[in-house]
Amino acid sequence: MNQQKVINSLPSHLQPFVAIQDYTAYTPRDHAIWRFLLKQLSFSLKDSAHPTYFEGLAKTGLGFDAIPKIEDINACLNKLGWRAVAVDGFLPPAVFMEFQAQRVLAIALNIRSFDHMLYTPAPDIIHEAAGHAPFLIDIDYAEFLQRFGELGMRAINNQHDLDIYEAVRELSIVKENSASTAQEIELAQDRVESLQKKSVTPSEANLLARLHWWTVEYGLVGDIDNYRIFGAGLLSSLSESTTCLNDEAVSKHPLSINAIRTSYDITTAQPQLFVTQSCRHLSQVLEEYGRHMCCDRGGVSALEEAQRSGSVVTAQYNSGLQVSGKLNRVLRDAVSNAIYLGTEGGTQLAYGDKELAGHGRDYHSHGFGSPIGRLVAMERCLSAYTVDELKRHHIEMGKNVLLNFLSGVQVSGKLEAILRREQKNVLFSLSDCTVVDIDGTVLFDPTWGTYDMAIGDSIVSVFGGSADQQAFPLYESPSNTATLKHDYDEHTQNQFELYDLIAGTNRPDIALVEKIAQDASLDWLLKFEALEKTTDIELRQQLIRQLNSIANNASEETGTLIKGGLLRLG
């Protein structure tokens, strides 16, 4: 399946977040980075990664010779019931989770730069493809990942979450841009740190993100004294996949729901990690958190938590009617039953996650409000009565009605329409309508127009975002910060030709290897590629001496890479 066909198969509100992988945009050095790191990771992880990792590498279309094509990954993932799409850097958390819920692996199209091979703060194709994809061959893990997506896309976020997302995305882009100044990097770093230091009660989405981090990204499996790596963040990092094994430097804790109490910093190595016993254990911990999420518990506490978030949420009545918008009013009675909800700004009414015709944000542009609960002298929820039964209670279309709720809320007006779905009443529309609470406070005035009243005696679920994302997308468009393309000087571009020549043959011409060995201005990675290919003993010794010299005089990061590579070659 080609990239465009996969994109076309996605819900329309997700399609703007997908990019097309232009395979020709990768440089010969990019492919060399992939080759070096995949080989090095496989060597480094041979005793520490979960065995499924290596089996999955082979079964998900990830060869060592070149950066994989999204089409090739798709061909392999389709056999597992998954798909893959290319994306540009960090995605909004709710969007990332919805891709996961759709069994779609979002793969960053860029690859880490030559200067940040050991660790990159930005998502890249090594992390996404070589970190996440291999474990999809495990059915239990794949189902766990999908379930995580289902809960994640319904988690309620707040403005602080969105600010953190934009700041981290900007920092990752600035750090990967070779043209960035030290001041620009420092400013971006300061912005992230400033937001992280803010005293903000973690949102539901933030707590779930912590659980995702300590399992999917940085998880260990086994027990405290005998564990293997399965987290994608560790599997794609040469540095942390090694340092994490030092139990004195990185403490290990049994995974439990208490992991959500531990925050994380995406820009630095983690001082502690959590060990899960199995995929079954992962799912149990996830469901334990899910049982306490607003989407599961509903009720007044969920409504009030959603109101405090200040974000777009959906409140679902037991009748099935869904109200999506920013809650600005939640009334409760003396025993903490929710009795009224109100929204501000554009609001959507939906049923079964589909917007009701004529009840989108344009129509409810000034907000929406409605009672919750049962009527006096009616033994069942108002949604359960047939039209004939309603008439016996003096509720009839075209006539004035008086609806007295047990809460004391009163609705009076002319009933113009009853909207029914699946043999249930879900919405009354009244003209010349007045709504007051038990204290006589006016909640709706006849001069405001038609009053649409949601029907239901309880709120069974409250979740983040809108019910119908296609009609009311949580994010109108992708982030306005985009990853930057590198500009290479003439010397670097000339090296790319040498990378190509070396990669294109199993036994390179001796003159080509001599040229690479004699030019001290060339990348160490190019020299390493030549070392891997040549069989000439004298040239190999010369290249090894050069690489050791570079490692001893270069940055710690470069030295670690070179020495690790030489150790692998023996």
Residues 70/85, Cβ–Cβ less than 8 Å? yes
User: What's the rounded mean pLDDT across residues 412-417?
Assistant: 98
* 475 Rama sector, left if φ>0, alpha if ψ -120 to 50, beta otherwise: beta
Spatial neighbors of 242 by CB under 8 A, at least 6 apart, are 44
- Average pLDDT, rounded, for the chain: 92
pLDDT digits (tens, 9 = 90+) for 219-241: 999 999 999 999 999 998 888 99
pLDDT digits (tens, 9 = 90+) for 531-567: 999 999 999 999 999 999 999 999 999 999 999 999 9
What is the distance between the alpha carbons of residues 377 and 374, in angstroms, rounded to a whole number?
9
**What is the SS3 assignment for 345-392?**
EEEEEEECCEECCCCCCCCCCCCCEEECCCECCCCCCHHHCCHHHHHH
pLDDT of residue 239: 87
pLDDT of residue 247: 94
pLDDT at 308 over 90: yes
pLDDT of residue 470: 92
User: What's the rounded mean pLDDT across residues 489-509?
Assistant: 92
pLDDT of residue 485: 64
**Measured CA distances, 166 to 158, 207, 367, 388, 479 (Å):** 13, 18, 28, 55, 7
pLDDT of residue 516: 95
User: What's the rounded mean pLDDT across residues 126-133?
Assistant: 89
User: What's the rounded mean pLDDT across residues 121-142?
Assistant: 89
User: What's the rounded mean pLDDT across residues 322-340?
Assistant: 96
pLDDT of residue 121: 67
pLDDT digits (tens, 9 = 90+) for 62-106: 889 999 999 999 999 999 999 999 998 788 889 999 999 999 999
User: What's the rounded mean pLDDT across residues 248-267?
Assistant: 92
Residues 553/546, Cβ–Cβ less than 8 Å? no
What is the distance between the alpha carbons of residues 530 and 507, in angstroms, rounded to a whole number?
10
What band does 276 get if pLDDT is binned at 50, 70 and 90?
Answer: very high
pLDDT at 477 over 70: no
What band does 482 get if pLDDT is binned at 50, 70 and 90?
Answer: low
pLDDT digits (tens, 9 = 90+) for 367-403: 999 999 999 989 999 999 999 999 999 999 999 999 9
Fold for domain 312-464?
SH3 type barrels. (2.30.30)
pLDDT digits (tens, 9 = 90+) for 136-195: 999 999 999 999 999 999 999 998 888 888 888 788 777 767 678 888 888 988 888 888
pLDDT of residue 253: 97
> The domain 3-204 belongs to what CATH superfamily?
Aromatic amino acid hydroxylase (1.10.800.10)
What band does 478 get if pLDDT is binned at 50, 70 and 90?
Answer: low
pTM recorded for the entire structure: 0.90
